[in-house]
Structure 1
Amino acid sequence: MLQNFFIPELQQLNLSDSTFFQQDGAPCHYALNVRQLLNAIFPDKWIGRRGPIAWPPRSPDLSPLEYFLWGYVKTVVYSSKPQSLDELRARITNATHEITQQQLENVFNELENRIERCITKDGGLKHHHHLL
């Protein structure tokens, strides 16, 4: 996904030089070839396990995917048990398509609040439970 989609999109938009890339500590993200690619495309500008900028493992504080999307989709998708893989796929697709503009505005207002709290704490995560 990084090589075939994300990085070409960033380059097409002329954003690769100004972008910081953040990832979690999942084993597939930690592979040497992935870290080498990130070092080449985002030198000194990627956040992750063994990256140039450390990020605490399993820290959802500044990731809207973690503090909003996954929980929201899971709640909608599993409101009742899907009866097939096709139904599961359809529910996931529908859940993401049904996210409203207002929900997105709330998510990004919350992100701004979380960033401001991190700045206030000088980047420290000592009290990160307040961010959750």
Structure 2
Amino acid sequence: MRKVCAKLVPKLLTEEQKANQVLIASELKERVEIEPHYLDCVITGDETWTFEYDPKTKRQSAEWHTSASPKPKKAKMRKSKVKTMLIVVFDVKGVVHKEFLPQGQTVNAPYYVNVLQGLRKRVIRVRKDITANWRLHHDNAPRHTSLLVREFLAKHHVVTLPQPPYSPDLVPADFFLFPRIKTALKGRRFESIQAIQAAVTTALNEVPVEAFEGVYRAWESRWKKCVDAHGQYFEE
């Protein structure tokens, strides 16, 4: 016997939810096997908060010491209450569209439709090769699945990829882009919302195209891991 710590997960999934995870991951995996370039036309994205100050993780704060050195101490810090929301959409070639939520605004269905309108214009301007057949991937947040949003997507013939609920390990923004951006911001203090946004924009611009290509390949492998794990969370 040995004592082990519990793993924190977004939600304890029911058997039905796990079966749904496996079904969707299997369908997407099979689609890519049939059509190898299927994901080249898929645009994905999400929203996340970025903060005036976000403390470094324990790993980031690690220092080199000898065995005789005293153990370093660090005061407990919390994220600041000053924050701004980033909305970003990207594909295998990089960021397609980004914007910051205006202060006092919430991302409801009407606002998200405006985001999608801006995205359509950007696709026409910077992704002319997929303008006629691009597909959208987003999570199951109510603002993404509202009737208003579904009507907008149907009107413009935009197909959406299925996404099982409570599965951030299958969302490229959650397992790749947002952690990468926030790691670059941790431990830094910003004087204003504008300074946060400028730093986030710089961090986004510094992500190479090869990283986006790599995450799309990793996305495919995660579907297999989900199936192999029978719908359970598979990340350590």
TM-score by length of 1: 0.66
CA distance in 2, matches of 1:93, 1:104: 16
Contact 2:225/2:234, CA 8 A, preserved across alignment = no
> What per-residue deviation string (whole Å, max 9, x for no partner) do you get for residues 37-75 of structure 1?
1233347x324xxxxx5x322322333212111111112
Say whether 1:71 aligns with 2:145: no
Match of 1:26 in 2: 141
Match of 1:50 in 2: none
Describe the shift of the 1:8–1:95 C-alpha distance in structure 2 as closer, same or farther (beyond 3 A).
Answer: closer
Residue 4 of structure 1 aligns to which amino acid in structure 2? Answer: G
Gaps of 5+ in 2: 1-114
Describe the shift of the 1:128–1:10 C-alpha distance in structure 2 as closer, same or farther (beyond 3 A).
Answer: farther
1:95, distance to aligned residue in structure 2 (A): 0.7
TM-score by length of 2: 0.41
Q: Rg bigger for which structure?
A: 2
Gaps of 5+ in 1: 48-52
Contact 2:138/2:144, CA 8 A, preserved across alignment = yes
Aligned length: 121
Q: Which has the higher contact order (CA 8 A, sep 6+)?
A: 2
**CA-atom RMSD in angstroms:** 3.2
CA distance in 2, matches of 1:126, 1:10: 39
Describe the shift of the 1:15–1:125 C-alpha distance in structure 2 as closer, same or farther (beyond 3 A).
Answer: farther
> What per-residue deviation string (whole Å, max 9, x for no partner) do you get for residues 83-108 of structure 1?
21121011101111111345334423
Among candidates 26, 35, 41, match of residue 156 of structure 2: 41
CA distance in 2, matches of 1:92, 1:107: 19
Match of 2:123 in 1: 9
